[in-house]
Structure 1
Amino acid sequence: MKLERLISIIYKLLNNDVLPASTLAEEFQVSQRTIYRDIDVICAAGFPVVSYQGNKGGFGMMDGFKMDRSLLGSYDVDSLITVLKGLSTVFEDERAQGTIERLQTVGTEQQTSSLAVDFETRRIDPEVLPLIRTAISARTIIRFDYISGKNERTNREMEPIRLHFKYGNWYMYGYCRTRCDYREFRLSRMVELSLTEHTFQPHQEVPEEAGPFVGEQIHVEDVVIRVGQEALAEAMDQFGHVEKSFHTDGSMMMRIPVYKPLEACWLWAILLSFGSGAEVLEPSGLRDILKQELQKALQLYE
């Protein structure tokens, strides 16, 4: 604990001009006398700590004494700091905060960053992410109920390996003991998550998350939709990287490659969310499906 405190004090002195002993004592929850002894140890280790007297006095590093900034470029440091700040907010990780303080000693002097990162967590329980991360670190088996893409609820027991943030959502990858295979689960669909009392040993070979099989590519079909001007922004948010063309009346045509669109429930939900702002032109079978879904929805309000 003392060594960690000494290292933290060094980085704080590198990041600040002057720090009062009372401020350091309060932050590390020790007496000022302990801080004075720590400063003596730091000086004995070769760090040029200067003592400043007066109302605004305290301790600081000698002018010109900074860590070598050439180890990382300013862009690299600023980007790392930004990402770590986002992670430390999500996980409330004190270790990440300590890393940020160390990186700031080799960062630039600019007050504003050209990069901002937001790891959105509004779709999930705020306690889920720290809980899963704890399970990964301690290699603890977890249990939870999962709602699949087919709206089926199943109970799972899993050995968590890693967390991923992709496509605007958080995912967990690991070995599912229920299915005896590696699986990926979307956190927003997990309920009643709990840590068990059992631990696991990591497997010798952990496969990466599987992508689409080559054979599945033959089932990809283009879905063509016409989007009205009132739904342009929403359609662009959902299908930004697809072939599109704009018309003089303000509407837009989109050609969206989809794997088995007549079975893609996720696609139906998105298209129906556009309301009257978008119309499916192809394939005709998808038009029929959306008609049926709309009729079912209307029956709920009759």
Structure 2
Amino acid sequence: MKINRIITIIMVLLQREKISGKELAEKLNVSLRTIYRDIQVIEGAGIPIITYQGSAGGISILKNYKVNKGLFTKEDVVVLLKGLNLLSSPVLKESENLRTLEKIKSLLSEQELDEVTNNLNQLIVDISPWFSKQNINKKISIIRLALNEQLLLSFDYLNVKNKQASRLIEPYKLIFKEKQWYLQAFCLNRNDFRIFKLSKMSNIRETNTKFISQTSPEVFSLFEKDMKKKIFKIKLLIDESLLDRILDFCDKKDIKKLNEQQYLVNFNFIDDDYSYGILLSLGHKCICLEPEHIRHEMVERAEKLVKSYKKSANSFMSNYSIK
């Protein structure tokens, strides 16, 4: 939400004679360091910023300065509006989005606005899933309130062992990564920072208890470092009908055409249930060539699947009447 935050800072500075960096940080729920980085961006855009030191210090825009329409070019506004489209619901409330959109659009003439509207219609961003049984928007709404007010959150969480556990956390950042929503938070149960997947969270409740914000680590840094240690390459032989699906998981440079119907794929793999699930989902038109232990594990999992369908399903159907 950097674009929206910078625009908000500019509007606040235009309305206020002077404001402290600390107050801006509290208003926008970010660190003081982030505010000063944003101020540098604003200065780089040509807006004259003055900072005052001492107990009565603060940040202000040069007196009598007015933002003119030449500050942002038409191309700049297109970038800003596209950014807002990317950040739209469920992260931004509709009223917030519309208010900011109108402020940006006011920088353009009617003719320029028509051109920009046509440009924006060429891009549609919809991050909602095709099928969803969970009210993610409601979860995000509760989390956003806790983020803005710096309130502790409590919820039930399904862990890797499929055990439900109650958690009490300090919320810090909402993240959308690869089709999933996550929350970075300090877990009071574990006394450490954790990343929680929203789909595994239930019974989310904001409390009336405020917390003092602390410096959070870089999002996913520890997770990505750990994953890099676990990832290794496996070699797959796939049918050409799977080409579009395999491109969801690897780069084109890792795919080599073998003949008219088959491709060799160097596939990033982690030895866990999730990765085996991906291979199984590709069906009989995908074969692991190497390493050998992965191929053997796939055979065992496939045999167990067949056995389960032949035995367990038939037994269940005979014992229960399913309509």
Normalising by structure 1, we get a TM-score of 0.68
Q: Structure 1 residue 226: deviation in Å?
A: 1.3
Contact 2:185 2:194 in 1 (8 A): yes
Identity of aligned residues (%): 23
Flag the 1:181–1:115 CA change in 2: closer, same or farther, 3 A: same
Q: Structure 1 residue 245: deviation in Å?
A: 0.9
1:198 corresponds to which residue?
209
Q: Residue deviations 1:101-140, cap 9 Å, x none?
A: 1111225331322433222255542311111111111111
**Structure 2 Cα separation of the partners of residues 191 and 292 of structure 1:** 35
Q: Residue deviations 1:144-203, cap 9 Å, x none?
A: 222334544332211110111122221111111111101111212222222223221112
1:286 corresponds to which residue?
294
1:35 corresponds to which residue?
none
1:82 corresponds to which residue?
82
1:207 maps onto 2:208 in alignment:
no
Flag the 1:106–1:274 CA change in 2: closer, same or farther, 3 A: same
Flag the 1:235–1:301 CA change in 2: closer, same or farther, 3 A: same
**Structure 2 Cα separation of the partners of residues 151 and 74 of structure 1:** 52
**Structure 1 Cα separation of the partners of residues 227 and 179 of structure 2:** 24
Q: Residue deviations 1:36-86, cap 9 Å, x none?
A: xxxxxxxxxxxxxxxxxxxxxxxxxxxxxxx73332233332232233235
Contact 1:85 1:100 in 2 (8 A): no
1:138 corresponds to which residue?
149
Q: Structure 1 residue 219: deviation in Å?
A: 4.7
**Structure 1 Cα separation of the partners of residues 252 and 161 of structure 2:** 26
Q: Residue deviations 1:235-287, cap 9 Å, x none?
A: 112324661112222322111233xx32x222111111111121111221112
**Counterpart selection for 1:277 from 274, 285, 303:** 285
Partner of 2:70, secondary structure, is helix
Contact 1:159 1:174 in 2 (8 A): yes
**Counterpart selection for 2:232 from 216, 221, 238:** 221
1:32 corresponds to which residue?
none
**Structure 2 Cα separation of the partners of residues 157 and 215 of structure 1:** 25
Flag the 1:242–1:154 CA change in 2: closer, same or farther, 3 A: farther
1:50 corresponds to which residue?
none
Normalising by structure 2, we get a TM-score of 0.64
Partner of 1:70, secondary structure, is coil
Query: How many residue pairs get matched?
Result: 232
Question: Structure 1: any 5+ residue segments left out of the alignment?
Answer: 1-66
**Structure 1 Cα separation of the partners of residues 195 and 300 of structure 2:** 31
Flag the 1:225–1:275 CA change in 2: closer, same or farther, 3 A: same
Letter in 2 for 1:133: R
**Structure 1 Cα separation of the partners of residues 284 and 74 of structure 2:** 49
Flag the 1:247–1:69 CA change in 2: closer, same or farther, 3 A: farther
Contact 1:139 1:199 in 2 (8 A): yes
Flag the 1:120–1:158 CA change in 2: closer, same or farther, 3 A: same
1:180 corresponds to which residue?
191
Question: Structure 2: any 5+ residue segments left out of the alignment?
Answer: 1-66, 311-323
2:98 corresponds to which residue?
97
Contact 2:250 2:268 in 1 (8 A): no
RMSD of aligned residue pairs (Cα, Å): 2.5
1:254 maps onto 2:279 in alignment:
no
Which stretch of the first structure deviates more once superposed, 211-220 or 84-93? 211-220
1:300 maps onto 2:308 in alignment:
yes
2:71 corresponds to which residue?
71
Contact 1:224 1:256 in 2 (8 A): yes
Flag the 1:168–1:215 CA change in 2: closer, same or farther, 3 A: closer
**Structure 1 Cα separation of the partners of residues 280 and 247 of structure 2:** 15
**Structure 2 Cα separation of the partners of residues 172 and 127 of structure 1:** 14
